[in-house]
Amino acid sequence: MNEFDPGNYKEILIFLGTAGVAVPLFRRLKISPILGFLAAGVLLGPFGIGALANEVSWLSPLALNVAHIAPVAEFGVVFLLFMIGLELSWARLAVMRRLVFGLGALQVFGSAAALGAIALALDEPPNADTVAGFALALSSTAVVIPVLAETRRLGTAAGRTIFSVLLFQDLMVAPLLFMVSMLGAREGDFGVAIASTLLPAILGLAFVVLGGHLVLRPLFHHVAAARSTEFFMAACLLVVIGTGVFTAMFGLSMGLGAFIAGVLLAETEYRREIEVTIDPFKGLLLGLFFVSIGAELDLSQIYAAPLRTFGLAIGMMAVKFVVTWLAGRLMRLSPAVSTEAALLLAPGGEFAFIIITVAIGSNVLPADLGANLMIAVTLSMFAVPALGAIAQSLARSRAHAAPLGGAEPPASDSQEAPDAILVGYGRVGRLVGDMLRTHGLKFVAIETDAALVKRYRRDGIDIHWGNAVRSEFLVRCGVAKAKALIITMDKPAAAEEIVQTLRADYPHLTIVARARDAQHATQLYELGVTDAVPETIEASLQLSEAVLVDMGLPMGKVIASIHEKRDEFRKMLQTASSGADVRRAIRRSSRLKDPRRDSL
């Protein structure tokens, strides 16, 4: 039996300690959690406590080994792009194509040309200045998107604009790696570079799109039919990690493959449950990614040449800000949107590390220049949260600035808010849904039977497969903006849990629930339901109505008496505190008014 070595778990414990203790402290101090993870990486990395541990041995358990966490940390960006893809669709991407391929191309090629020209003026080799220009032109999807999400600006015009540019940059990673391969290839190796880099990337992209379109929905339907949370989680992780690794095998970024998988799943009935399942993994892995970025910052090199390192970082951001702002104005975006986009796209990004590393290995970029560029990129990424705060402040002060030309993407949520959410779409739920449609009300249905979801999805019903007991799932379905929640499923315990959770979070939400009997209805009222409809009582009232009408009594008086009796039961159930009270109230009410006697 192998001897237990606690050192094998050191990085995991340090990261969980950072996520569970240090980062919440930053949040309480109203400081971006991203800065908390970055600061933890700097402090605990090989150039922080790791450097001191060589002389002070008792500090070694607190030092991070970046090589151990880097492979896992990379999945933070992968999961982030997958979640972004889930919020989009091919139709939405088509609407954004002008910004993706128009503004995105202007920003990348314009910034690369300006930065490359400066490098050439500083006597850097021609190939090196080209690679440096394109590497520095890229921005950080992994840092910028969470900053926008924190301030709820991802759905604004500026947020959509920034995302469009970041998407184009991600699409440019494979061509840029191909460019580096060509620049490093010997004469006569041009065909080899194409065969080894560009063609595999195109094939890999085609396989992911076509294969995902054919496989993903049947896969999740098969897993959902098993009704196992564990199996569904396993399928989600398989898709995210599997598509990422598959595209990386063809020379593309793992994030791009995961993004495409997300887009393919965005129009399926499993989208909301996938979002809820993946979100915790995304948060933790992104935190680990930020820790790894902070750990790579060599403080000794900054201390040795502070003017050079800070000057390079500030100069890079200044050039990119000017180019991006001019590109935005050229695309007829408003000054406010152009400014916000320029601020957040000015810092460098994580893909610069990949391009610079490959360029150094191909002898295209001198090693010392590459090291300086990576330090400048890292420093600039630390500035993103502060730049995001500045951009938000500017957006508030210029909220009434008029856009020019209407070229900006709509500042709206990714889905239209439903009037009602219908939990359960069996026989009862379908009848309720029919009545909602009859009165022109939009609803979102939730069902756990995968076969039913598949059938009614084909009929055009906005129905999702998922567990409504999870409040975060209902939030993603739009409960925060819905007028009512209707529970029709025949699962008393689940209905009670839903009512209890939602009433605490949304005190003004109308909640109507199906109850098995009078006692269950009383429990639902105690939990805060607006109305509970007991099956036994309602069936008795409908039977009474049919009998009295068939016996020739006036329909108007019969309906009035039924409504009166229903109101009596409702008041009794709302005030009753136990099952015995309910039964006594029902027996007492049966001796009250007889609608037949009233009609005589």
pLDDT of residue 577: 44
pLDDT of residue 234: 94
Alpha carbon distance 134, 113 (integer Å)? 8
Token pair, residue 13, equals 């414990």
Mean pLDDT of the chain: 82
Is 152 within 8 Å of 391 (Cβ atoms)?
A: no
The amino acid occupying position 522 is T
Tell the residue number behind the tokens 């050039």, with chain if given: 319
Sequence-ordered list of residues with C-beta below 8 angstroms from that of 428, at least 6 positions apart, any chain: 488, 490, 514
The CATH code of domain 420-599 reads 3.40.50.720
Residue-wise pLDDT tens digits, 533-562? 888 888 888 888 888 888 888 888 888 888
Please state the domain extents for the chain: 6-68, 73-397, 420-599
Please count the residues of the chain.
600
Domains 73-397 and 420-599 share a fold: no
The amino acid occupying position 272 is R
Residue-wise pLDDT tens digits, 111-139? 999 999 998 888 888 788 899 999 999 99
Alpha carbon distance 138, 173 (integer Å)? 9
The CATH code of domain 73-397 reads 1.20.1530.20
pLDDT of residue 250: 81
Residue 598 has pLDDT above 60, yes or no: no
In sequence order, the β-bridge partners of residue 447 are: 465
Q: DSSP characters for 24-70?
A: HHHHHTT--HHHHHHHHHHHHSTTTHHHHTTT-GGGGGG---HHHHH
Residue 185 has pLDDT above 70, yes or no: no
Residue-wise pLDDT tens digits, 344-354? 999 998 888 87
pLDDT of residue 404: 40
CA distances from 151 to 145, 148, 156, 347 (A): 10, 5, 11, 19
Residue-wise pLDDT tens digits, 494-512? 999 999 989 988 989 999 9
DSSP alpha helix (H) spans, 364-491: 367-382, 384-397, 427-438, 450-458, 471-476
pLDDT of residue 196: 62
